[in-house]
Amino acid sequence: MGRLGFRVALGCAAVSCAIAAALVGRRLRSRRQWSRAVELVREFEEACATPVGRLRQVVDAMAVEMHAGLASDGGSKLKMLLTFIDKLPDGSEEGTYYALDLGVTNFRTLRVHLGGKPSMILNNKVECQPIPKELMTGTIEELFNFVALTLKKFVQREENGVDQISDNTKDLGFTFSFPVKQLSVSSGLLIKWTKGFSVKDDVNDTVGTLALCHYGDEDTVAAVIIGTGTNACYLERTDAIIKCQGLLTNSGVMVVNMEWGNFWSSHLPKTSYDISLDNESSNPNDQGFEKMISGMYLGEIVRRVLHRIAEESEIFSDAAQSLSAPFVLRTPLVAAMHEDDSPDLREVGRILEEHLKMYGVSKNAKRLIVHVCDIVTRRAARLAAAGIVGILKKLGRDGSGGVASGRTKGKPRRTVVAVEGGLYTKYSIFREYLNEAVGEILGEEVARYVLLRCVDGSGIGAALLAATYLSANR
Ligand code: BGC
Protein backbone atom coordinates (compact mmCIF):
# COMPACT_ATOMS: atom_id res chain seq x y z
CA MET A 1 0.00 0.00 0.00
CA GLY A 2 1.35 3.41 -0.95
CA ARG A 3 1.52 6.27 1.49
CA LEU A 4 -1.63 7.86 0.19
CA GLY A 5 -3.54 4.58 0.40
CA PHE A 6 -2.36 4.14 3.99
CA ARG A 7 -3.52 7.65 4.94
CA VAL A 8 -6.95 7.14 3.36
CA ALA A 9 -7.36 3.85 5.20
CA LEU A 10 -6.34 5.52 8.44
CA GLY A 11 -8.75 8.40 7.81
CA CYS A 12 -11.66 5.99 7.13
CA ALA A 13 -10.94 4.06 10.30
CA ALA A 14 -10.97 7.28 12.31
CA VAL A 15 -14.33 8.34 10.81
CA SER A 16 -15.82 4.89 11.51
CA CYS A 17 -14.59 5.07 15.07
CA ALA A 18 -16.10 8.54 15.48
CA ILE A 19 -19.44 7.37 14.03
CA ALA A 20 -19.42 4.28 16.23
CA ALA A 21 -18.61 6.38 19.28
CA ALA A 22 -21.36 8.84 18.40
CA LEU A 23 -23.83 6.00 17.94
CA VAL A 24 -22.86 4.39 21.21
CA GLY A 25 -23.05 7.80 22.90
CA ARG A 26 -26.47 8.48 21.42
CA ARG A 27 -27.69 5.01 22.39
CA LEU A 28 -26.41 5.49 25.92
CA ARG A 29 -28.00 8.92 26.14
CA SER A 30 -31.28 7.66 24.76
CA ARG A 31 -31.18 4.72 27.22
CA ARG A 32 -30.65 7.19 30.04
CA GLN A 33 -33.54 9.32 28.74
CA TRP A 34 -35.75 6.28 28.66
CA SER A 35 -34.85 5.11 32.10
CA ARG A 36 -35.58 8.59 33.51
CA ALA A 37 -38.98 8.67 31.75
CA VAL A 38 -39.82 5.16 32.91
CA GLU A 39 -38.69 6.00 36.44
CA LEU A 40 -40.97 9.07 36.55
CA VAL A 41 -43.95 7.01 35.40
CA ARG A 42 -43.15 4.24 37.87
CA GLU A 43 -42.98 6.71 40.76
CA PHE A 44 -46.26 8.25 39.66
CA GLU A 45 -47.91 4.84 39.41
CA GLU A 46 -46.79 3.92 42.92
CA ALA A 47 -48.12 7.17 44.32
CA CYS A 48 -51.49 6.57 42.63
CA ALA A 49 -51.88 3.01 43.88
CA THR A 50 -55.36 2.06 45.05
CA PRO A 51 -55.16 -1.48 46.45
CA VAL A 52 -58.42 -2.71 47.88
CA GLY A 53 -57.24 -2.10 51.47
CA ARG A 54 -56.76 1.59 50.73
CA LEU A 55 -60.12 1.79 48.96
CA ARG A 56 -61.79 0.35 52.06
CA GLN A 57 -60.17 3.10 54.13
CA VAL A 58 -61.65 5.64 51.73
CA VAL A 59 -65.05 3.92 52.09
CA ASP A 60 -64.88 4.24 55.88
CA ALA A 61 -63.73 7.85 55.70
CA MET A 62 -66.61 8.72 53.36
CA ALA A 63 -69.17 7.16 55.72
CA VAL A 64 -67.64 8.94 58.75
CA GLU A 65 -67.63 12.30 56.95
CA MET A 66 -71.26 11.79 55.92
CA HIS A 67 -72.23 11.37 59.59
CA ALA A 68 -70.24 14.49 60.51
CA GLY A 69 -71.79 16.58 57.72
CA LEU A 70 -75.30 15.54 58.80
CA ALA A 71 -74.57 16.45 62.41
CA SER A 72 -73.77 20.13 61.84
CA ASP A 73 -73.21 22.67 59.10
CA GLY A 74 -69.46 22.81 58.53
CA GLY A 75 -68.98 19.56 60.47
CA SER A 76 -67.26 18.04 57.46
CA LYS A 77 -65.81 19.01 54.10
CA LEU A 78 -68.83 17.16 52.71
CA LYS A 79 -71.51 19.83 52.63
CA MET A 80 -74.42 17.34 52.96
CA LEU A 81 -76.94 19.93 51.76
CA LEU A 82 -80.56 19.24 52.59
CA THR A 83 -82.73 19.44 49.47
CA PHE A 84 -86.18 19.28 51.09
CA ILE A 85 -87.08 16.68 48.48
CA ASP A 86 -88.91 14.15 50.64
CA LYS A 87 -90.56 12.08 47.94
CA LEU A 88 -89.39 10.82 44.58
CA PRO A 89 -91.36 10.02 41.42
CA ASP A 90 -92.76 6.49 41.43
CA GLY A 91 -94.02 6.14 37.87
CA SER A 92 -97.61 7.23 38.49
CA GLU A 93 -97.12 10.89 37.46
CA GLU A 94 -99.25 12.27 34.63
CA GLY A 95 -99.42 15.43 32.56
CA THR A 96 -97.11 17.82 30.75
CA TYR A 97 -94.20 19.46 32.52
CA TYR A 98 -91.38 21.72 31.53
CA ALA A 99 -87.86 21.75 32.88
CA LEU A 100 -84.66 23.71 32.63
CA ASP A 101 -81.28 22.11 32.98
CA LEU A 102 -78.59 24.72 33.56
CA GLY A 103 -75.04 23.45 33.13
CA VAL A 104 -71.68 25.15 33.04
CA THR A 105 -71.56 26.06 29.36
CA ASN A 106 -75.03 25.29 28.06
CA PHE A 107 -78.58 24.80 29.15
CA ARG A 108 -81.43 22.61 28.03
CA THR A 109 -85.12 23.33 27.86
CA LEU A 110 -87.35 20.28 28.08
CA ARG A 111 -90.97 19.33 27.78
CA VAL A 112 -92.01 15.97 29.16
CA HIS A 113 -95.37 14.32 28.69
CA LEU A 114 -96.08 11.67 31.31
CA GLY A 115 -98.65 8.95 30.87
CA GLY A 116 -98.96 7.56 34.40
CA LYS A 117 -98.28 4.00 35.55
CA PRO A 118 -96.18 2.12 34.70
CA SER A 119 -93.49 4.79 34.34
CA MET A 120 -94.55 6.04 30.93
CA ILE A 121 -92.70 8.95 29.39
CA LEU A 122 -94.96 9.37 26.35
CA ASN A 123 -93.02 12.12 24.76
CA ASN A 124 -90.10 14.28 25.56
CA LYS A 125 -88.59 17.17 23.68
CA VAL A 126 -85.19 18.59 24.53
CA GLU A 127 -83.47 21.67 23.12
CA CYS A 128 -79.87 22.45 23.98
CA GLN A 129 -78.48 26.00 23.87
CA PRO A 130 -74.95 27.24 24.52
CA ILE A 131 -74.82 30.00 27.13
CA PRO A 132 -73.52 33.15 25.35
CA LYS A 133 -70.01 33.97 26.56
CA GLU A 134 -70.88 37.50 27.69
CA LEU A 135 -73.59 36.11 29.98
CA MET A 136 -71.17 33.74 31.68
CA THR A 137 -69.39 36.74 33.13
CA GLY A 138 -72.44 39.03 33.45
CA THR A 139 -74.85 39.40 36.36
CA ILE A 140 -77.08 36.59 37.58
CA GLU A 141 -80.16 38.67 36.59
CA GLU A 142 -78.92 38.94 32.99
CA LEU A 143 -78.29 35.22 32.84
CA PHE A 144 -81.69 34.29 34.23
CA ASN A 145 -83.53 36.82 32.09
CA PHE A 146 -81.95 35.19 29.05
CA VAL A 147 -82.77 31.71 30.31
CA ALA A 148 -86.38 32.68 31.08
CA LEU A 149 -86.82 34.30 27.67
CA THR A 150 -85.44 31.24 25.87
CA LEU A 151 -87.79 29.08 27.89
CA LYS A 152 -90.73 31.30 27.02
CA LYS A 153 -89.94 30.95 23.30
CA PHE A 154 -89.55 27.19 23.68
CA VAL A 155 -92.96 26.91 25.34
CA GLN A 156 -94.56 29.07 22.65
CA ARG A 157 -93.12 26.85 19.93
CA GLU A 158 -94.26 23.74 21.75
CA GLU A 159 -97.76 25.10 22.18
CA ASN A 160 -98.19 26.09 18.55
CA GLY A 161 -97.17 29.70 18.74
CA VAL A 162 -99.96 30.68 21.08
CA ASP A 163 -98.76 32.95 23.88
CA GLN A 164 -100.49 31.27 26.74
CA ILE A 165 -97.81 31.89 29.30
CA SER A 166 -99.20 35.09 30.73
CA ASP A 167 -102.55 33.57 31.55
CA ASN A 168 -101.66 29.95 31.95
CA THR A 169 -99.01 28.96 34.46
CA LYS A 170 -96.67 26.15 33.47
CA ASP A 171 -95.18 23.72 35.90
CA LEU A 172 -91.45 23.83 35.78
CA GLY A 173 -88.62 21.79 37.22
CA PHE A 174 -85.20 23.33 37.40
CA THR A 175 -81.87 21.55 37.72
CA PHE A 176 -78.42 23.02 38.24
CA SER A 177 -74.88 21.71 37.96
CA PHE A 178 -73.97 23.89 40.94
CA PRO A 179 -74.34 23.62 44.66
CA VAL A 180 -77.41 25.40 45.93
CA LYS A 181 -78.21 25.79 49.56
CA GLN A 182 -81.91 25.31 49.69
CA LEU A 183 -84.44 26.56 52.17
CA SER A 184 -87.33 24.59 50.73
CA VAL A 185 -88.07 22.51 47.65
CA SER A 186 -88.58 25.63 45.52
CA SER A 187 -86.41 28.27 47.13
CA GLY A 188 -82.78 28.85 47.80
CA LEU A 189 -82.05 31.02 44.82
CA LEU A 190 -82.11 34.75 44.29
CA ILE A 191 -84.25 34.42 41.20
CA LYS A 192 -87.58 36.01 40.58
CA TRP A 193 -89.65 34.14 38.07
CA THR A 194 -91.73 36.83 36.46
CA LYS A 195 -92.84 35.23 33.23
CA GLY A 196 -95.66 33.05 34.40
CA PHE A 197 -93.65 30.01 35.42
CA SER A 198 -94.23 28.32 38.71
CA VAL A 199 -91.00 26.65 39.83
CA LYS A 200 -92.08 23.47 41.56
CA ASP A 201 -88.59 22.41 42.39
CA ASP A 202 -85.10 23.65 41.84
CA VAL A 203 -82.58 20.93 42.37
CA ASN A 204 -78.98 19.98 41.93
CA ASP A 205 -78.34 17.85 38.81
CA THR A 206 -77.63 14.75 40.94
CA VAL A 207 -81.12 15.06 42.43
CA GLY A 208 -82.66 15.18 38.94
CA THR A 209 -80.69 12.03 38.08
CA LEU A 210 -81.91 10.28 41.23
CA ALA A 211 -85.51 11.26 40.42
CA LEU A 212 -85.28 9.96 36.86
CA CYS A 213 -83.83 6.61 37.87
CA HIS A 214 -86.27 6.25 40.80
CA TYR A 215 -89.16 6.91 38.41
CA GLY A 216 -88.28 3.67 36.60
CA ASP A 217 -86.92 1.70 39.55
CA GLU A 218 -87.99 2.30 43.13
CA ASP A 219 -84.94 0.49 44.54
CA THR A 220 -82.83 3.50 43.50
CA VAL A 221 -81.27 5.02 46.62
CA ALA A 222 -78.49 7.24 45.32
CA ALA A 223 -77.25 9.06 42.24
CA VAL A 224 -73.74 9.95 41.22
CA ILE A 225 -72.53 12.26 38.46
CA ILE A 226 -69.04 11.79 37.07
CA GLY A 227 -68.69 14.25 34.23
CA THR A 228 -66.98 17.63 34.05
CA GLY A 229 -67.71 17.88 37.77
CA THR A 230 -68.60 15.14 40.20
CA ASN A 231 -71.15 14.82 42.98
CA ALA A 232 -73.57 12.43 44.65
CA CYS A 233 -76.91 12.58 46.41
CA TYR A 234 -78.88 9.90 48.23
CA LEU A 235 -82.04 9.23 50.15
CA GLU A 236 -81.43 9.64 53.89
CA ARG A 237 -83.67 8.87 56.87
CA THR A 238 -84.65 12.13 58.57
CA ASP A 239 -83.82 10.71 61.99
CA ALA A 240 -80.19 10.44 60.84
CA ILE A 241 -80.12 14.17 60.08
CA ILE A 242 -79.15 15.98 63.26
CA LYS A 243 -78.78 19.49 61.84
CA CYS A 244 -81.81 21.60 60.87
CA GLN A 245 -84.22 19.25 62.68
CA GLY A 246 -86.79 22.07 62.98
CA LEU A 247 -87.03 22.34 59.19
CA LEU A 248 -87.54 18.66 58.43
CA THR A 249 -90.91 17.32 57.35
CA ASN A 250 -92.29 14.18 58.92
CA SER A 251 -92.17 12.13 55.75
CA GLY A 252 -89.26 10.15 57.19
CA VAL A 253 -86.80 10.62 54.32
CA MET A 254 -85.00 13.41 52.50
CA VAL A 255 -82.64 13.58 49.57
CA VAL A 256 -79.26 14.92 50.68
CA ASN A 257 -76.95 16.59 48.15
CA MET A 258 -73.54 15.52 49.43
CA GLU A 259 -71.40 17.81 47.25
CA TRP A 260 -68.89 14.96 47.45
CA GLY A 261 -66.47 16.76 45.13
CA ASN A 262 -65.27 18.51 48.27
CA PHE A 263 -64.62 15.26 50.17
CA TRP A 264 -61.13 14.86 51.56
CA SER A 265 -59.32 12.12 53.45
CA SER A 266 -55.67 11.46 54.19
CA HIS A 267 -56.22 8.01 52.66
CA LEU A 268 -56.64 9.47 49.17
CA PRO A 269 -53.49 8.77 47.13
CA LYS A 270 -52.30 12.31 46.48
CA THR A 271 -49.25 12.93 44.29
CA SER A 272 -47.00 15.95 43.76
CA TYR A 273 -48.95 16.59 40.52
CA ASP A 274 -52.24 16.81 42.45
CA ILE A 275 -50.64 19.20 44.90
CA SER A 276 -49.37 21.57 42.22
CA LEU A 277 -52.66 21.36 40.31
CA ASP A 278 -54.53 22.31 43.49
CA ASN A 279 -52.12 25.11 44.43
CA GLU A 280 -52.41 26.67 41.00
CA SER A 281 -56.20 26.29 40.79
CA SER A 282 -58.73 29.07 41.40
CA ASN A 283 -60.02 27.17 44.46
CA PRO A 284 -57.04 25.72 46.37
CA ASN A 285 -57.94 23.29 49.18
CA ASP A 286 -61.44 22.89 47.79
CA GLN A 287 -63.01 20.15 45.69
CA GLY A 288 -60.09 17.80 46.42
CA PHE A 289 -62.01 14.63 45.49
CA GLU A 290 -63.33 16.29 42.32
CA LYS A 291 -59.78 17.22 41.32
CA MET A 292 -58.79 13.53 41.39
CA ILE A 293 -61.90 12.15 39.75
CA SER A 294 -63.71 14.42 37.35
CA GLY A 295 -63.42 15.19 33.67
CA MET A 296 -62.42 18.77 34.36
CA TYR A 297 -59.08 17.59 35.79
CA LEU A 298 -58.03 14.14 34.50
CA GLY A 299 -56.54 15.52 31.28
CA GLU A 300 -54.71 18.18 33.26
CA ILE A 301 -53.12 15.60 35.57
CA VAL A 302 -51.94 13.59 32.55
CA ARG A 303 -50.56 16.78 30.99
CA ARG A 304 -48.59 17.61 34.13
CA VAL A 305 -46.97 14.16 34.20
CA LEU A 306 -46.11 14.30 30.48
CA HIS A 307 -44.72 17.80 30.88
CA ARG A 308 -42.36 16.67 33.61
CA ILE A 309 -41.22 13.74 31.45
CA ALA A 310 -40.63 16.14 28.55
CA GLU A 311 -38.58 18.42 30.79
CA GLU A 312 -36.46 15.65 32.27
CA SER A 313 -35.90 13.55 29.18
CA GLU A 314 -35.98 14.01 25.46
CA ILE A 315 -38.21 11.09 24.65
CA PHE A 316 -40.89 13.42 23.23
CA SER A 317 -38.23 15.42 21.31
CA ASP A 318 -38.90 19.07 22.08
CA ALA A 319 -42.48 18.89 23.37
CA ALA A 320 -41.83 20.55 26.73
CA GLN A 321 -43.05 23.87 25.36
CA SER A 322 -46.33 22.62 23.88
CA LEU A 323 -47.04 20.59 27.03
CA SER A 324 -46.55 23.60 29.25
CA ALA A 325 -49.97 25.18 28.67
CA PRO A 326 -52.43 24.30 31.47
CA PHE A 327 -55.57 22.39 30.41
CA VAL A 328 -54.33 21.98 26.82
CA LEU A 329 -55.02 18.25 27.12
CA ARG A 330 -58.72 17.72 27.78
CA THR A 331 -60.13 14.53 29.28
CA PRO A 332 -62.05 13.37 26.14
CA LEU A 333 -58.65 13.32 24.38
CA VAL A 334 -57.21 11.21 27.20
CA ALA A 335 -60.13 8.80 26.78
CA ALA A 336 -59.61 8.64 23.02
CA MET A 337 -55.86 7.92 23.39
CA HIS A 338 -56.51 5.35 26.10
CA GLU A 339 -59.07 3.53 23.97
CA ASP A 340 -56.90 3.50 20.84
CA ASP A 341 -56.46 -0.18 20.05
CA SER A 342 -54.86 0.23 16.62
CA PRO A 343 -51.51 -1.62 16.35
CA ASP A 344 -49.55 1.56 15.54
CA LEU A 345 -51.48 3.79 17.99
CA ARG A 346 -52.68 5.96 15.13
CA GLU A 347 -55.24 7.89 17.16
CA VAL A 348 -52.65 8.68 19.83
CA GLY A 349 -50.34 10.03 17.11
CA ARG A 350 -53.13 12.13 15.58
CA ILE A 351 -54.09 13.67 18.94
CA LEU A 352 -50.47 14.40 19.84
CA GLU A 353 -49.92 16.13 16.51
CA GLU A 354 -53.21 18.00 16.22
CA HIS A 355 -53.70 19.06 19.82
CA LEU A 356 -50.20 19.18 21.29
CA LYS A 357 -48.06 19.83 18.23
CA MET A 358 -45.95 16.79 19.16
CA TYR A 359 -44.59 15.32 15.94
CA GLY A 360 -42.74 12.07 15.29
CA VAL A 361 -43.31 10.56 18.75
CA SER A 362 -42.00 6.99 18.75
CA LYS A 363 -44.28 4.03 19.30
CA ASN A 364 -42.71 3.29 22.65
CA ALA A 365 -43.21 6.87 23.78
CA LYS A 366 -46.84 6.68 22.68
CA ARG A 367 -47.21 3.50 24.73
CA LEU A 368 -45.83 5.31 27.75
CA ILE A 369 -48.36 8.12 27.25
CA VAL A 370 -51.21 5.63 27.10
CA HIS A 371 -49.90 4.08 30.32
CA VAL A 372 -50.03 7.48 32.06
CA CYS A 373 -53.64 7.89 30.84
CA ASP A 374 -54.39 4.47 32.30
CA ILE A 375 -52.89 5.28 35.72
CA VAL A 376 -54.89 8.51 36.05
CA THR A 377 -58.16 6.96 34.83
CA ARG A 378 -57.83 3.85 36.96
CA ARG A 379 -57.19 5.83 40.14
CA ALA A 380 -60.18 8.11 39.40
CA ALA A 381 -62.55 5.24 38.67
CA ARG A 382 -61.50 3.23 41.74
CA LEU A 383 -61.83 6.24 44.05
CA ALA A 384 -65.29 6.99 42.65
CA ALA A 385 -66.16 3.34 43.34
CA ALA A 386 -64.99 3.73 46.94
CA GLY A 387 -67.16 6.85 47.24
CA ILE A 388 -70.21 4.91 46.05
CA VAL A 389 -69.55 2.06 48.48
CA GLY A 390 -69.12 4.71 51.22
CA ILE A 391 -72.72 5.78 50.60
CA LEU A 392 -73.88 2.16 50.65
CA LYS A 393 -72.05 1.68 53.94
CA LYS A 394 -73.77 4.73 55.44
CA LEU A 395 -77.09 3.23 54.33
CA GLY A 396 -76.21 -0.20 55.73
CA ARG A 397 -76.33 -1.73 52.26
CA ASP A 398 -72.68 -2.73 51.89
CA GLY A 399 -73.13 -6.14 53.48
CA SER A 400 -70.94 -5.19 56.44
CA GLY A 401 -73.79 -6.02 58.83
CA GLY A 402 -73.10 -9.62 57.81
CA VAL A 403 -75.49 -11.97 56.12
CA ALA A 404 -77.62 -13.89 58.60
CA SER A 405 -77.32 -17.65 58.57
CA GLY A 406 -79.61 -20.57 59.37
CA ARG A 407 -83.37 -20.30 58.95
CA THR A 408 -83.30 -16.50 58.95
CA LYS A 409 -80.66 -16.48 56.28
CA GLY A 410 -81.10 -13.07 54.67
CA LYS A 411 -79.95 -11.65 51.43
CA PRO A 412 -78.63 -8.12 50.96
CA ARG A 413 -81.33 -5.80 49.62
CA ARG A 414 -81.41 -5.01 45.92
CA THR A 415 -79.87 -1.56 45.63
CA VAL A 416 -79.74 0.64 42.55
CA VAL A 417 -77.38 3.57 42.13
CA ALA A 418 -77.96 5.89 39.17
CA VAL A 419 -74.78 7.06 37.45
CA GLU A 420 -74.66 9.93 35.00
CA GLY A 421 -71.85 11.89 33.36
CA GLY A 422 -69.62 11.33 30.36
CA LEU A 423 -66.76 9.68 32.22
CA TYR A 424 -69.00 6.79 33.24
CA THR A 425 -71.43 6.67 30.34
CA LYS A 426 -69.03 7.27 27.45
CA TYR A 427 -65.57 6.18 28.62
CA SER A 428 -65.85 2.40 28.71
CA ILE A 429 -62.46 1.72 30.36
CA PHE A 430 -63.36 4.11 33.19
CA ARG A 431 -66.71 2.34 33.62
CA GLU A 432 -65.08 -1.10 33.67
CA TYR A 433 -62.53 -0.01 36.28
CA LEU A 434 -65.26 1.49 38.46
CA ASN A 435 -67.55 -1.55 38.24
CA GLU A 436 -64.65 -3.89 38.91
CA ALA A 437 -63.60 -1.93 42.00
CA VAL A 438 -67.14 -1.95 43.44
CA GLY A 439 -67.07 -5.75 43.11
CA GLU A 440 -63.62 -5.94 44.71
CA ILE A 441 -64.58 -3.79 47.70
CA LEU A 442 -67.98 -5.36 48.36
CA GLY A 443 -67.07 -8.92 47.42
CA GLU A 444 -68.90 -10.76 44.66
CA GLU A 445 -71.72 -12.01 46.90
CA VAL A 446 -72.90 -8.55 47.98
CA ALA A 447 -72.00 -6.84 44.69
CA ARG A 448 -74.55 -9.02 42.90
CA TYR A 449 -77.30 -7.01 44.60
CA VAL A 450 -75.86 -3.62 43.71
CA LEU A 451 -76.77 -2.29 40.29
CA LEU A 452 -75.09 0.73 38.81
CA ARG A 453 -77.46 2.08 36.20
CA CYS A 454 -76.42 4.54 33.47
CA VAL A 455 -78.89 7.41 33.34
CA ASP A 456 -79.05 10.34 30.98
CA GLY A 457 -81.29 13.27 31.76
CA SER A 458 -81.16 15.11 35.06
CA GLY A 459 -83.43 17.71 33.37
CA ILE A 460 -86.15 15.10 32.80
CA GLY A 461 -85.71 14.18 36.47
CA ALA A 462 -86.46 17.78 37.43
CA ALA A 463 -89.66 17.72 35.36
CA LEU A 464 -90.60 14.45 37.09
CA LEU A 465 -90.05 16.06 40.49
CA ALA A 466 -92.26 18.99 39.48
CA ALA A 467 -94.90 16.40 38.57
CA THR A 468 -94.48 14.55 41.88
CA TYR A 469 -94.89 17.69 43.96
CA LEU A 470 -97.76 18.99 41.91
CA SER A 471 -99.77 15.77 42.03
CA ALA A 472 -99.22 15.58 45.80
CA ASN A 473 -100.62 19.10 46.22
CA ARG A 474 -103.67 18.62 43.99
C1 BGC B 1 -70.81 20.77 41.49
C2 BGC B 1 -72.04 19.98 41.85
C3 BGC B 1 -72.57 19.24 40.64
C4 BGC B 1 -71.45 18.41 40.01
C5 BGC B 1 -71.91 17.63 38.79
C6 BGC B 1 -69.79 19.88 40.79
O7 BGC B 1 -68.72 20.65 40.34
O8 BGC B 1 -70.22 21.31 42.66
O9 BGC B 1 -73.06 20.80 42.40
O10 BGC B 1 -73.62 18.42 41.04
O11 BGC B 1 -70.38 19.25 39.66
O12 BGC B 1 -72.36 18.46 37.77
Q: Which atom of ligand 1 is nearest to the CA of 178?
A: 9
Instruction: Count CA atoms within 13 Å of residue 124 on its CB side.
Output: 21
Look at residue 147 in the predicted model and tell me its pLDDT: 84
Domain 59-266+381-472 in CATH 3.30.1370.60: no
Q: Cα 20–23–25 angle (5° rounding)?
A: 110
Rounded Cα distance between 330 and 105, Å, is 15
- Per-residue pLDDT at 407 exceeds 50: no
> What pLDDT sits at residue 197?
47
Taking the CA of residue 180 as reference, the ligand 1 atom at the shortest distance is: 9
Output phi, psi for 396, to 5 deg: 70, 25
C-alpha to C-alpha distance for 450 and 411, rounded to whole angstroms: 12
**Nearest protein Cα to ligand 1, atom 7:** 229
Is 261 near ligand 1, meaning CB less than 6 Å away? yes
Identify the residue with better confidence: 401 or 126: 126
Q: Return the best residue to mutate from 78, 105, 181, 225 for the ligand 1 pocket (most ligand atoms within 8 A of CB).
A: 225
Residue with CA nearest ligand 1 atom 11: 229
179 CA closest ligand 1 atom index: 9
For residue 24, what pLDDT band results from cuts at 50, 70 and 90? low
How far is the centre of ligand 1, averaged over its atoms, from the C-alpha of 12 (Å)? 70
User: Is the confidence at residue 321, as pLDDT, over 90?
Assistant: no
Closest C-alpha to 98, from 244, 204, 200: 200
Nearest 5°: the CA angle 270, 275, 277 is 120
pLDDT above 90 (res 421): yes
Instruction: Tell me if the pTM is above 0.75.
Output: yes
Nearest-atom number in ligand 1 for the CA of 262 is 8
Cβ of 206 closer than 6 Å to ligand 1, yes or no, is yes
Q: How far is the CA of 11 from the centre of ligand 1 (A)?
A: 72
Determine if ligand 1 sits within 6 Å of the CB of residue 205: yes
Query: In sequence order, what are the residues at sequence separation of 6 or more whose Cβ sits closer than 8 angstroms to the Cβ of residue 166?
Result: 196
For residue 181, how far is its CA from the centre of ligand 1 (angstroms)? Answer: 13
Q: Confirm or reject: Cβ of 178 under 6 Å from ligand 1.
A: yes
pLDDT band, residue 422 (cuts 50/70/90): very high
Prior bond of 118 cis (ω within 30°): yes
pLDDT tens column, 344-391: 999 999 999 999 999 999 999 999 999 999 999 999 999 999 999 999
Average pLDDT over every residue of 278-285: 96
204 pocket-lining for ligand 1 (C-beta < 6 Å): yes
Give 81 Cα–ligand 1 centroid separation in angstroms.
12
Pocket test for ligand 1, best of 105, 205, 292 (most atoms within 8 A of CB): 205
Q: How far is CA 448 from the centre of its chain?
A: 24
Query: 248 exposed, middle or buried (CB, 10 Å; 0-12, 13-18, 19+)?
Result: middle
Average pLDDT of every residue of the chain: 86
- Ligand 1, atom 6: closest residue by C-alpha: 229
The one-letter amino acid code at 289 reads F
pLDDT at 467 over 50: yes
